Amino acid sequence: MEIPYTVKPRPDTGLINSKIGIWLFLASEVMLFGALFSSYIILRIGSESWPEGSSYLSVPIGTFNTLVLISSSITMVMAWASLKLKNFKKFQIYMGLTILLGLVFLGVKSFEYYGKFSHHHYPKESVFFAIYFTMTGLHALHVICGMVVNAYFWGPGSKMWQTNPEQFTNRVETSGLFWHFVDLVWIFLFPVLYLL
Amino acid sequence: MSDHNHEKLGFWRKYIFSTDHKVIGLQYGITGSFFLFFGFCLMMLMRWQLAYPGQPLPFVGNLLGESNMPMGYMLPEFYNALGAMHGTIMVFLAIVPLIFGAFGNYIVPLQIGAPDMAFPKLNAISYWCYLLGGVVMVASFWAPGGAANSGWTSYAPLSVTATIGQTYWLFGMVLLITSSLLGSVNFITTVVQLRAEGMTWFRLPFFVWAQLVTAFLLLLAFPPLEAAGVLQLMDRLAGTSFFMPSGLVVGGEALGISGGGSPLLWQHLFWFLAHPEVYVLILPALGIVTEIIANNTRKPLYGYKIMIYSILFLGFLSFIVWAHHMYLTGMGTTVSTFFQTTTLIISIPSVVIITTLFITLWGGSIRFNTPMLFALGFLPMFGIGGLTGLPLAFNATDIPLHDTYYVIGHFHYVVAPGTIFALFAGVYYWFPKITGRHMSEVLGKTHFWASILFMNGIFMPMFIQGMAGVSRRLYDGGATYELAQGVLHWNEFMSISAWLLALAQIPFLINLFWSPFKGKKANDNPWEATTLEWSTPTPPPHGNFLEAPKVYRGPYEYSVPGSSKDYSPQSQKEI
């Protein structure tokens, strides 16, 4: 028994199963982060005096991290495009860069967290810090998940390139879609938390 | 090659860690039935305290521990935990896994002519997430301070300051939500991608449509509750104040928190899930009932397309009615008016679906077998549940009825004699396909008549009590309240009905365990049905169909003029 349309798209929908699956999953992720952003809006509108918050955060560091994550999205696309061009060596380089940039992002984020903790800014200090730590923490968790998947395709998972290159390319595209989504969430988080 | 491998699978791979949608469906079914029974037992305990407040429960009471029922007397905290856990377990661990996880998993791939779900491993993972979530929930009964006791709605700030059982509840919910999300992604992908050749959208059985809309509700409504769960976990574990207002005083002491949060925010996030959740409970039930009614009236479904448009509209609208649970929170008349309007509009598609089912009955030569009896019982019971919801939809009439037993009666009419009857109907209907044998009609009919009698015995008096103003959350069932004195005698009546309802399930249990071995043998299509699941071997093998099925016609072509028999299966080419 074989599940159809795992590699070749179904003619009338023009899609493979995993592509629909990941888009549906991302739709649910939009609702997850949408609920958190809505909570932020409701809390901020409802509060009599919004606690001092964004002035504690460093805009240059945040901007740097935004650039890091955007670059990693570019290398992610390049990794997938290299597979499309049947260039496995280039795929390894670009995928490696993507993972590395993810690590840089997490490193900078930990540095920021460390700075807050060492100045005794904890989530319980105010609603602002509660939102800041919860949302960036949940986002970091998504970054880690994306990196684990990417690392698998860079390492042991890449053996599939020898046996079924088409499916391997599809898998990288799928994890790429997730990675871009994680990037996109940060692009919303950065102005909301650092600039407003 | 792969087929040979499946023949050789060992016990563990075949029955425990299987990726076959039918085995996973049965796993959901067995686990869900256990939780259904467990949730029912919690309710039977509560009914003792309501019928005989302050009296020790003989035998069982002594077994439940000194911290819950010392000397057999039920403590108020334990009563609250029973209430909260009854709701949680019945909704999230029993009904959804049974109606969506079990029936959806087993039947949907068969009805669309697919070999399995689109992502078989993901399917297994979502079952194991569900089981783990269930274990965490049940384990919370042994936590210090007992299980979650802030109601199944877990309103803040009460839930934030509650005992550790609430943390178990939150972790359990995160696991259950993950399970539902993975399941719904799988269901939608399966229906979109794996339909057999010729199975166009308007040839899908109504049951598949119902499951598809349900999957979308789960996919999009559950994440906000996951977000809410994360925020409440932060409030409980990291001391944040998402749901905690400034200046909160508990037990005469100011809490050492920053404040600035909003208790209303929790209610919005919770009901944004929990209202669509009601439709998650009822839509697949409507699907099951529709299949059975079409089959047993031996005529085409009246208004098949109208039903599909109605259910799509219903699914969409269910996302913008949630705040009708919150009229009393002071969120403002403008907001209330909006939600009152949407709530009344959503009753239209529900009525359309029920009406088309009634019209389908008109002029049919009805076969009154057990599944049909349960399906027919569903219609008026769901009707009572729906109609009693109208006074709750109106802002003005909701105010005296809010949080009374009237609400409990309304909701249970939808879910207990509604959805659970549909579940029973489904079990009796698909049992011959799953096991190759019929269930006993005599035992089945006994089960039906006793169940419908005692179900009404439990829930009908709740309307009377509710209209007298008895609150749903009273530890003594209203014994110490002046306003409840006139309707207090109903408590004992309802409790005895509940215990008798438990006895009424004995014929069903005997039937369920006896029939797979001794029941009357069934052929591949014992009900002479048209949909694809009946054109598989019995029980369907791994991979379901012997050869890829082709579909030539709509799902309910019964009594087609000019045909030699009164049913034309979807996979049959000539009339």
pLDDT digits (tens, 9 = 90+) for A159-182: 999 999 999 999 999 999 999 999
pLDDT of residue B217 exceeding 70, the answer is yes
Instruction: Give the per-residue pLDDT at B515.
Output: 96
CB-nearest partner of A17 from B181, B193, B269: B193
Name which of A8, A18, A37, A39 to mutate to probe chain B: the one with the most chain B Cβ atoms within 10 A of its Cβ.
A39
Q: Please report whether residue A2 resides in a domain.
A: no
Element spanning B249, H or E: strand B249-250
Of residues B28, B34, B100, B88, the one with CA closest to residue B281: B100
Residue A60: cis peptide before it, omega within 30 degrees of 0: no
B86: which 2 tokens?
Answer: 């009854």
Are the beta carbons of B115 and A123 separated by less than 8 Å? no
Are the beta carbons of A5 and B184 separated by less than 8 Å? no
Tell me, what CATH number does A172's domain have?
1.20.120.80
Give chain A's domain count: 1
Angle between the N-to-C axes of helices B165-193 and A17-46, in degrees from 0 to 180, rounded to the nearest 10: 140
Separation in Å, CA of A51 to nearest CA in chain B: 9
In B, which residues are within 8 Å of A10 by CB distance?
193
In A, which residues are within 8 Å of B112 by CB distance?
none
| Nearest-Cα residue of chain A relative to residue B258 | A126
Separation in Å, CA of B266 to nearest CA in chain A: 9
pLDDT of residue B216 exceeding 50, the answer is yes
Question: What's the mean pLDDT when you consider all of chain B?
Answer: 94
Q: Please report whether residue A163 resides in a domain.
A: yes
Q: Domain range spanning residue A162?
A: 17-43+58-195
Q: What is the mean pLDDT of residues B71-92?
A: 95
Q: Please report whether residue A178 resides in a domain.
A: yes
Q: Among B59-63, B212-216, B341-345, B489-493, which is the least confidently predicted range?
A: B59-63
Q: Please report whether residue A50 resides in a domain.
A: no
Are the beta carbons of B242 and A39 separated by less than 8 Å? yes
pLDDT of residue B42 exceeding 90, the answer is yes
Asked if B118 is an interface residue toward chain A (Cβ–Cβ < 8 A), one would say yes
Name which of A10, A26, A28, A45 to mutate to probe chain B: the one with the most chain B Cβ atoms within 10 A of its Cβ.
A28
Q: Are B207 and B556 in contact (CB under 8 A)?
A: no
pLDDT of residue B237 exceeding 80, the answer is yes
Asked if B93 is an interface residue toward chain A (Cβ–Cβ < 8 A), one would say no
Q: Please report whether residue A145 resides in a domain.
A: yes
pLDDT of residue B28 exceeding 50, the answer is yes
Exposed, middle or buried, A138 (CB in 10 Å: 0-12/13-18/19+)?
middle
B462 vs B409: CA distance, rounded Å: 5
Instruction: Give the per-residue pLDDT at B7.
Output: 56
> What is the per-residue pLDDT across A82-127, written as a single tens digit (0 to 9) for each?
999 999 999 999 999 999 999 999 999 999 999 999 999 999 999 9
What confidence tier does B1 reach under pLDDT thresholds 50, 70, 90?
very low
B373 vs B450: CA distance, rounded Å: 12
Q: Please report whether residue A75 resides in a domain.
A: yes
Q: What is the mean pLDDT of residues A156-160?
A: 94
Q: Please report whether residue A181 resides in a domain.
A: yes
In A, which residues are within 8 Å of B115 by CB distance?
1-4
Q: Which of residues 170-189 of B touch A (CB under 8 A)?
A: 181, 184-186, 188-189
CB-nearest partner of B234 from A3, A51, A123: A123
Q: What is the ipTM of this complex?
A: 0.95
Instruction: Give the per-residue pLDDT at B255.
Output: 87
CB-nearest partner of A25 from B185, B238, B542: B185
> What is the per-residue pLDDT across B164-213, written as a single tens digit (0 to 9) for each?
999 999 999 999 999 999 999 999 999 999 999 999 999 999 999 999 99
B416 vs B178: CA distance, rounded Å: 26
Are the beta carbons of A124 and B223 separated by less than 8 Å? no
Task: Give the SS3 label for residue B327.
Answer: helix
Question: What's the mean pLDDT when you consider all of chain A?
Answer: 95
Element spanning B97, H or E: none
In B, which residues are within 8 Å of A52 by CB distance?
none
pLDDT of residue B107 exceeding 80, the answer is yes
The CB density around residue A16, as the number of other CB atoms within 10 Å, is 23
What confidence tier does A75 reach under pLDDT thresholds 50, 70, 90?
very high
B441 vs B368: CA distance, rounded Å: 10
B537 vs B436: CA distance, rounded Å: 9
What is the residue-wise DSSP string for B172-187? HHHHHHHHHHHHHHHH
Q: Please report whether residue A12 resides in a domain.
A: no
> What is the per-residue pLDDT across B494-545, written as a single tens digit (0 to 9) for each?
999 999 999 999 999 999 999 999 999 999 999 999 999 999 999 999 899 9
CB-nearest partner of B231 from A4, A17, A134: A134
In B, which residues are within 8 Å of A134 by CB distance?
230-231, 234, 240, 242
Whole-model pTM: value is 0.96
Phi, psi values for residue B404, rounded to 5°: -100, 180
Asked if B120 is an interface residue toward chain A (Cβ–Cβ < 8 A), one would say yes
A104 vs A110: CA distance, rounded Å: 10
